[in-house]
Structure 1
Amino acid sequence: MRIVVTGREGQLAHSLRAVGASSGVDIVCLGRPQLDLSEAATVSAVLLGTGADVIINAAAYTAVDRAESEPEKAHAVNAAGAGLVAQAAQRLGVPIVHISTDYVFDGGWQHPYREEDRVCPLGAYGASKHDGELRVAAANPRHVICRTSWVYSPYGQNFVKTMLRLAGERDEVGVVADQLGSPTYALDLAEALLRIARRVLDEKVVDEKAADTPLFGVFHVAGGGQASWADLAEAVFAASASSGGPSARVRRIDTKDYPTPARRPADSRLDTGKLQERYGIVLPDWRASVGDCVSRLLGARAGTGSSSSASP
């Protein structure tokens, strides 16, 4: 099985390479400048020559706050670009697995969101991702749109790495405690996506009947359990301290105490029951996974002999 992944430098692409290497899956990761979703001419020209069995579109404009001042750039990648990738997959005759986000919801329902719940993004980033979902679905009936949330990993820039860096600089860190979500370890997500890819390849359907196939459509793919950002920070510091790494006290603050250009959903927990029902996939609880992530990051620091090697 050859899986072509867009977004070569992202957390998920790194995680897919790591998981694929141990699973015997051929993972080909593509990114800029060779493949730039904001440059339409590069998309089909590159993807049509890859020999992909499945395409995972993990490329995204993820600067949530900056998107408020440059929405056209977010839209070019997350919406128009995503649609172009889905079109290329359709021309190749292969399924597309497209990564979306909990930010398509406004966070006001106070229960874990199901796939059929009303979409109402609060900002430019979420709006661009929702538009991308619509374009992917319209371009390729054989689509699996995977909404995920609060992704962290040993790679790239993410909340867990930021907390470890801050713990090495100060004794106390103020962290938002009134936003709830589903923290998701990118390595767990990568394993789930490989299982999804295998299943959709085994599903022999013609395009016009794809919409009736239970393996296609929108799915929520996120870590088990729930947390606030403060809960996640406390777990990071506890895991680090137990391994002799840096730790800090968490000062729980409200969203209003940490203003940002983009509004965040107050409660974007994702219900993953459909994923379990259709695919039999349940991601591990975030509390176990965050320990593995911290252990890997501390091991990387020790291996390089530099306390700054794991910084974003």
Structure 2
Amino acid sequence: MPLHPEVATFLATLPPPPAGPLDPVAMRAAEEAQVPPVEERLPLHAVEDLTAHTATGDVPVRVYTPTAADRHGLLVYFHGGAFFLGSLETHDHVARSLAKETGLKVVSVGYRRAPEAAFPAGLDDCYAVTRWAAEQGEELHWDGTTLALAGDSSGGTFVAAVAARAHDDGFDRITHQVLYHPSLDLDFDEDRYASLRENAVGYGLETAGLKPFNAFYLDSGADPADPLVSPVKRKDLSGLPPALVVTAEFDPMRDEGELYGRRLREAGVTATVSRYAGAGHGFVQHFSWIPEYHRVFTETRDFLTRR
């Protein structure tokens, strides 16, 4: 099917990208300016800003409690933004929807970003908060069952990397990994995946923009050959948590996400790959208000509760 008409209409209103190098400070400010005031956001039982005291240092987190129940399962959420954009604020609506639709308590991680923080600072923060959430289970009123990871775009990179790192460390409390239109191979050679050519132009994120958008992360020491940077390059995927991999039809990175799902299944891991028709990269953050795309949260709920 073609690009969703509401998405296409929005993309047609966007000005061409500014000439010259990317300015992370200006781009972050522009993102934050679009965040609605608190009173206009999806209401939940409780939303609380905390500091996770971890082995990597203090990490800001925002904890979303969906209901007044005494105990909840946990979902640790890593926002996207090409490793230099995104924040607790810009992805607040995603975390709220995850909490409401899944019924889980969501811990959103304000990890350190490039270029100010070199690799692997952001990854270290995400892994440390995941372990902190399990260790602080009593304080978080965790019911001791679900401990899921979820992330969009570069947050999906961190989901796969944290799941692998936890497995290697013998930390076996993670029950699920959920990746929304993930970036899993930071080698952007256009011959690697058909989607890099098929979806190169005209769908929002363009193939030519992948290198400059990820340059802050790569220039900080992230090696695309490292499986913690490009998780699809990990040789042995066996023993990882069950996965839901959500891809977008018109995303240049569609095929690497779907390859990750296939490789998980080949390694004996339960993995579901769900491609959203008519969608482009970033639809979970930018277009989840469209009913066809808001179902990504109920699909996540169904995956997390499936026996």
Give the TM-score band, short-chain normalised: 0.3 to 0.5
User: Given the two structures, how large is their TM-score scaled by the length of structure 1?
Assistant: 0.34
Higher relative contact order (CA 8 A, sep 6+): 1
- Tell me which protein shows more helix as a share of its residues: 1
State which structure, 1 or 2, has the greater radius of gyration over its C-alpha atoms.
1
